[in-house]
Amino acid sequence: MTDMFPTFAELDRDGAIAEAASHVDAHTRAAFFGKVAALVGGATVIGAVAPGFAIAQSSGDVAILNYALTLEYLEAAFYQSANSGGALSGQAARFARVTGEHEDAHVTALEKVLGSSATKKPTFDFKGSTGDEATFLATAKTLEDAGVQAYLGQAGAIKSKDVLSSAASILSVEARHAAWVANILKQDPAPEDFQSGADMNTILAAVKGTGFIPALASASASPGTTGAPSVTG
């Protein structure tokens, strides 16, 4: 495993991800690194939720959890950068602080659940997106909307009822994040009657396009998969 970002083979230790990727037309795959399967509640409920994850993980769920951990690293680092930069004030500063605390809690919980199987934190480059308030808010809106779509996109692939239940509990929090930042931006916080999910290819392409994860931006598809990255540091 590299120090920056794991290879696809390192993430997919038992081949579960590659198998899922090969059936992309038949199954809605993990969006934004399978966030729905991995996220658990805030810091006050980590202790209660994590044991259920640990007991109930299937091999496929473990692979999804590692995708989710990579996403959580991304989001947590984004808010850490914003909170330390000094460019935010008022509502934006409070949003960044509270949401950042949530993302930090998710990372802590995932690392605890995955133990030695946890993927390493990649290197990030946010390209100035946290350096001014307007750009930060627009980027945060994109990340939070994608997170909500990711929960829905992966829900059908989760085998463990415990993991699914915990994912459902955090989905409402992610949706509130998205609505909160939309309100700050004076946008409609609930523009649709029904929320749609997004598949892995769509979200990975969006993440790759940001350049926030340099190793992912230079990745290519791994043989035998459909759109799954082979990332090297």
Q: Is residue 103 part of a domain?
A: yes
| CATH classification at residue 194 | 1.20.1260
Structural domain for 147, as ranges:
28-212
Q: Is residue 23 part of a domain?
A: no
pLDDT in tens, 142-176: 998 887 887 777 777 768 777 667 667 767 888 89
> Which residues contact residue 163 at a Cβ distance below 8 angstroms, ignoring those fewer than 6 apart?
37, 38, 52, 53, 56, 57, 61
The pLDDT of residue 173 is 82
pTM exceeds 0.85 for this model: no
Q: Does residue 15 have a pLDDT over 50?
A: no
Q: Is residue 139 part of a domain?
A: yes
SS3 220: strand
Number of compact structural domains in the chain: 1
Supply angle C-alpha 183, 187, 193, rounded to 5: 100
Q: Is residue 218 part of a domain?
A: no
Q: Is residue 12 part of a domain?
A: no
The pLDDT of residue 208 is 85
pLDDT in tens, 40-63: 333 333 334 444 454 445 667 777
pLDDT in tens, 101-149: 999 988 887 788 778 888 899 999 999 999 999 999 999 999 988 878 8
